[in-house]
Structure 1
Amino acid sequence: MSWTPRVGTCTAAHLPLDAEDLCKRAFFCLAYCMKWENIPAKLIINVDEKRAFTLLVGSSASGDILPFQAVWAGKTEKSLPSKDAPGMTEALQRGFHFTFAASEKKTMKEYIEDILIPYVKDIIASDPGLDDDQKAVFYIGVYPVHPGIILIFVPANCMGKVYRKRIQSVGGVFDK
């Protein structure tokens, strides 16, 4: 796959006047957390979700792409694609999660329970250098999460700016 760094669009959102400072604070909070808790890059997970967007994509700082969560408009499972839809079997085998916007569990909670926590547990189990109680970082907007996962908030409307800064100035911080 030829993935490229995300470039934010600014048509609906405006950067805060102190965006540069907010992004630096978020970056240093992340770097401190990684150092203090000894968190490897593969356990720094970032997602970006838009209210009008129907696909939640997560990736780790080491480049792993987590399974996608497709959120479909609707109030019941009838709004989801059929189990017989073309490509559905492969999507499910790859861990994709399909849900509807009016889900009682709430879509972010489903993402955490069905995608994030299994990913973190798999990384910990597959790496003999990590302890069973190894912490991970979930780098998102406001949302209460699972114990053992440290939450670092991306400043409002700054996701694209944070990515550009990280790519330009990482300087080994993410290499563990």
Structure 2
Amino acid sequence: WSFQAVTKATQKLPANVEDILEEAFLREAYVIRNYVIPAELRVNTDQTQTVYQQGNKATWNKRGEKQVGSIGKDEKRAFTLVPLISASGELLPFQAIFQGSTDASCPSKSSPFYQEAKELGFCIEPSKTKTYWSTMETMKSLVNDIISPYFERKKRELNIENPGEQRSIWKIDCWSVHKSKEFLSWMKTTHPNIIVIFVPGNCT
């Protein structure tokens, strides 16, 4: 720990945060027990902004200098990284979303470790919007190309007796796209055996 400058207001937790978390825990435990869902079939994801060049609001400089430069202070370029992990501790391939309309907005195929990332199943795609945030379409590709194939593979490895009936859990936060009627309806229609569970809002 060290003394640091304050950069943002602390997010306020709900007054009844302990009750909310207890209810969420019991709800998830109920689903796991009733549908007999093993740890391998429970996945959590989160979107995170990844800035290309992290800047800093402070740096070492000669005492008394009025103008102090810092590398990356004006850097605002970023992409969205979506890490995924199962309750059994297995790391799934990541999804990376870059601002732009075509694959030219994504890292070049000649970039270091690009081929290794693709061989590991990483999904690297353009947002096809003016931002780099996840969209309805990138969420669909996340499920279709990474999450669903992972669940199906695990069902085979676990020798699930009725894989077509086996439920899985996907735990995500209360982001607007996640909770939209369009996305949840698509999930129920396209992936009815994946149960979506939300992390309570303002509790992360």
Give the TM bin, normalised by the shorter chain: 0.7 to 0.9
TM-score after normalising by structure 1: 0.77
Shift of 1:111: 0.4
**Residue of structure 2 in register with 1:27 after alignment:** 25
Aligned pairs for 1:61-100 (under 5 A) are: 61-100=87-126
**Residue of structure 1 in register with 2:199 after alignment:** 154
Q: Which has the larger radius of gyration?
A: 2
Q: Deviations over 1:55-74 (max 9, x none)?
A: 10111111011100011122
Shift of 1:156: 1.2
Q: What letter matches 2:166 in structure 1?
A: Q
Asked if 2 retains the 8 angstrom alpha-carbon contact of 1:72 and 1:80, the reply is yes
Flag the 1:93–1:131 CA change in 2: closer, same or farther, 3 A. Answer: same
Flag the 1:131–1:11 CA change in 2: closer, same or farther, 3 A. Answer: farther
User: Secondary structure of 1:102's match?
Assistant: coil
Shift of 1:115: 0.3
Asked if 2 retains the 8 angstrom alpha-carbon contact of 1:19 and 1:155, the reply is no
Q: Deviations over 1:138-172 (max 9, x none)?
A: 0113352221011111111323xxxxxxxxxxxxx
Asked if 1 retains the 8 angstrom alpha-carbon contact of 2:98 and 2:125, the reply is yes
User: Secondary structure of 2:169's match?
Assistant: strand
Q: Distance in 1 between matches of 2:9 and 2:154?
A: 38
**Residue of structure 2 in register with 1:173 after alignment:** none
Asked if 1 retains the 8 angstrom alpha-carbon contact of 2:100 and 2:127, the reply is yes
Shift of 1:23: 1.4
Asked if 2 retains the 8 angstrom alpha-carbon contact of 1:43 and 1:60, the reply is yes
Asked if 1 retains the 8 angstrom alpha-carbon contact of 2:99 and 2:128, the reply is yes
Q: Deviations over 1:122-143 (max 9, x none)?
A: 0001111452121100011335
Flag the 1:77–1:40 CA change in 2: closer, same or farther, 3 A. Answer: same
Unaligned residue ranges in structure 1 (runs of 5+)? 1-9, 160-176
Counterpart selection for 1:135 from 167, 179, 190: 167
Q: Percent identity?
A: 37
Q: Distance in 2 between matches of 1:12 and 1:68?
A: 29
**Residue of structure 2 in register with 1:109 after alignment:** 140
TM-score after normalising by structure 2: 0.67
Aligned pairs for 1:165-176 (under 5 A) are: none
**Residue of structure 2 in register with 1:168 after alignment:** none
Flag the 1:19–1:100 CA change in 2: closer, same or farther, 3 A. Answer: farther
Asked if 2 retains the 8 angstrom alpha-carbon contact of 1:140 and 1:151, the reply is yes
Q: Distance in 1 between matches of 2:11 and 2:98?
A: 23
Q: Distance in 2 between matches of 1:98 and 1:49?
A: 14
**Residue of structure 2 in register with 1:42 after alignment:** 40
Flag the 1:17–1:50 CA change in 2: closer, same or farther, 3 A. Answer: farther
| Higher mean displacement: 76-85 or 117-126 | 76-85
Q: Whose relative contact order is higher, 1 or 2, with alpha carbons under 8 Å and at least 6 apart?
A: 1
Q: Deviations over 1:55-105 (max 9, x none)?
A: 101111110111000111222221011112110110001110011222686
**Residue of structure 2 in register with 1:118 after alignment:** 149
